[in-house]
């Protein structure tokens, strides 16, 4: 037996326990969920329905073709944009001005065509014919992610940079910031539910009244934040679409909770990334007379970008899978304005006892998370500086 074969056998032998665990608790549940999604399954298996659950969830399959075609055109426009930014287009003589102009016009046409075909024709038709609970879950999840991730990472970056600059009590502040993350989610969510109570004596309403503003219903309010601001400014009426395109006050309160929990975790991870930056870069910048902002912009941010990229990917996956604290903080008054997709899937199982349809919705969520992760890795991964 050759040395190479023995090494392969040893490697597979060492990997075997991990592969068994992965197969039993990872791959098998995924495969079984796919099997369940192809059946009418109420308490027990009843009948094979094929892809009917997916058609019911996503909508008329005829709209899938323009939707996919629009996505392809948008991706082609992105590739053209990358080509436009290529250094090759900056060189040349006679074609120096013509070729970039030609690429720009082509890029605009392809991008607009993709948006019209994919969003207006494809996605619009799917939303009209699909399950409202599924697409409402996607909308609420999108609001939740957009309202959480940018503020969470920005605040964590600022706190980590401040901790990086101080020398005393750094460990104490790091522990203090990390405490919300290690606190049991159920307990902290119950506390936040008390803080954002609609009662006039609640902590949130007391703070709100310091600014001379009326008490709010917070977690019980299904109206959007913009609608409430318009009402507070004296507008008796507002367009009906405002509540559809902006997050509700209840969802905003949950977003504040999520930022409070995870900003400490991000701060500790970013602080570790900052501590790994060689000090000679800062010393060289100081000798060259660089200011504080210049050092942060041209040294700190590029060298900590791998950590930010990792945290952003984890945050996107985490927000699309959020469940525990959302379930605790949801109220009947908020209606479906806080029902992220995981909540909609949970309701299908435990309220409507439809495990087959819930499994189909779960697979749609899985594909969405996978697509977003690949897109984020493809687009943002190019901007990460690894020091090469």
CB 328 within 8 A of CB 343: no
Q: Output the CATH code of domain 132-383.
A: 1.10.3720.10
Helices 28-37 & 355-379, crossing angle to 10 degrees? 120
Contacts of 18 (CB under 8 A, 6+ apart): none
pTM of the entire structure?
A: 0.88
Q: What is the pLDDT of residue 166?
A: 85
Alpha carbon distance 273, 295 (integer Å):
16
Q: What is the pLDDT of residue 83?
A: 66
**Digitized pLDDT (tens) for each residue of the chain, 388 residues in all:** 678 888 888 999 999 999 999 999 988 988 988 898 988 888 777 788 889 999 999 999 999 889 999 988 888 887 777 666 655 544 444 444 455 677 678 878 888 888 898 888 899 999 999 999 999 999 999 999 999 999 999 999 999 998 988 878 888 888 899 999 999 999 999 999 999 999 999 999 999 888 878 889 999 999 998 888 888 777 777 787 888 889 999 999 999 999 999 999 999 999 999 988 888 888 888 888 888 888 888 889 999 999 999 999 999 999 998 999 999 999 998 989 999 999 999 999 988 889 999 999 999 999 999 999 998 888 888 788 876 5
Residue 114, classified by CB atoms within 10 Å of its CB into exposed (0-12), middle (13-18) or buried (19+), is buried
Q: Give 172's Cβ-side CA count (13 Å radius).
A: 4
Looking at 144-244, which runs of residues are DSSP E strands? none
Distances from the Cα of 112 to the Cα of 80, 107, 118, 371, 372, angstroms: 13, 9, 10, 22, 21
The H or E element spanning position 45 is: strand 44-48
Each residue's pLDDT tens digit, 4-34: 888 888 999 999 999 999 999 988 988 988 8
Alpha carbon distance 370, 85 (integer Å):
28
Alpha carbon distance 211, 207 (integer Å):
8
Length of the chain: 388
Q: What is the pLDDT of residue 134?
A: 94
Q: In this structure, what are the phi and psi dihedrals at residue 42, rounded to the nearest 5 degrees? A: -115, 105
Q: What is the pLDDT of residue 94?
A: 46
Alpha carbon distance 173, 171 (integer Å):
6
Closest CA to 192 of 328, 99, 335, 77: 328
Cα angle for residues 376, 379, 384 (degrees, 5° grid)? 95
Helices 249-275 & 170-182, crossing angle to 10 degrees? 140
Beta-strand relationship, 39-42 and 44-48: antiparallel
The H or E element spanning position 186 is: helix 185-195
Q: What is the pLDDT of residue 100?
A: 64
């Amino acid at each position: 037996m050759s040395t190479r074969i023995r090494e392969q056998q040893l490697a597979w032998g060492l990997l075997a326990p991990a592969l068994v665990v992965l197969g039993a608790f990872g791959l098998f549940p995924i495969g079984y969920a796919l099997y369940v999604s192809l059946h009418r399954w109420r308490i027990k298996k009843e009948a094979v329905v094929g892809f009917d659950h997916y058609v019911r969830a996503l909508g008329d399959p005829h709209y899938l073709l323009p939707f996919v075609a629009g996505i392809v055109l948008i991706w082609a426009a992105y590739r053209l944009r990358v080509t436009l930014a290529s250094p090759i287009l900056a060189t040349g003589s006679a074609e120096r001005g013509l070729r970039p102009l030609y690429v720009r016009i082509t890029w605009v046409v392809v991008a607009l065509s993709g948006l019209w075909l994919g969003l207006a024709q494809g996605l619009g038709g799917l939303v009209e014919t699909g399950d409202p609970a599924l697409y409402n879950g996607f909308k609420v999840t999108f609001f939740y992610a957009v309202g959480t991730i940018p503020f969470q990472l920005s605040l964590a970056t600022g706190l980590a940079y401040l901790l990086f600059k101080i020398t005393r009590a750094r460990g104490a502040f790091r522990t203090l910031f990390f405490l919300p993350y290690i606190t049991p989610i159920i307990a902290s969510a119950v506390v936040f539910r008390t803080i954002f109570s609609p009662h006039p004596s609640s902590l949130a309403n007391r703070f709100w009244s310091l600014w001379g503003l009326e008490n709010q219903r917070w977690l019980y309010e299904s109206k959007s934040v913009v609608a409430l601001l318009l009402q507070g400014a004296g507008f008796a009426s507002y367009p009906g679409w405002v509540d559809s395109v902006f997050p509700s006050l209840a969802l905003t309160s949950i977003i504040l909770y999520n930022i409070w929990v995870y900003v400490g975790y991000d701060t500790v991870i970013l602080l570790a990334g900052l501590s790994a930056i060689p000090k000679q870069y800062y010393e060289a910048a100081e000798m060259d007379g660089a200011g504080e902002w210049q050092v942060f912009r041209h040294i700190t941010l590029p060298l900590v970008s791998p950590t930010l990229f990792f945290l952003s990917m984890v945050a996107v996956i985490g927000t699309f899978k959020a469940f525990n604290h959302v379930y605790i903080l949801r109220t009947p008054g908020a209606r479906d304005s806080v029902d992220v997709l995981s909540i909609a899937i949970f309701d299908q199982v435990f309220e409507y006892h439809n495990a087959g349809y819930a499994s189909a919705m779960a697979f749609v969520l899985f594909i969405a998370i996978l697509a977003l992760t690949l897109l984020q890795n493809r687009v943002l991964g190019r901007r990460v500086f690894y020091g090469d």
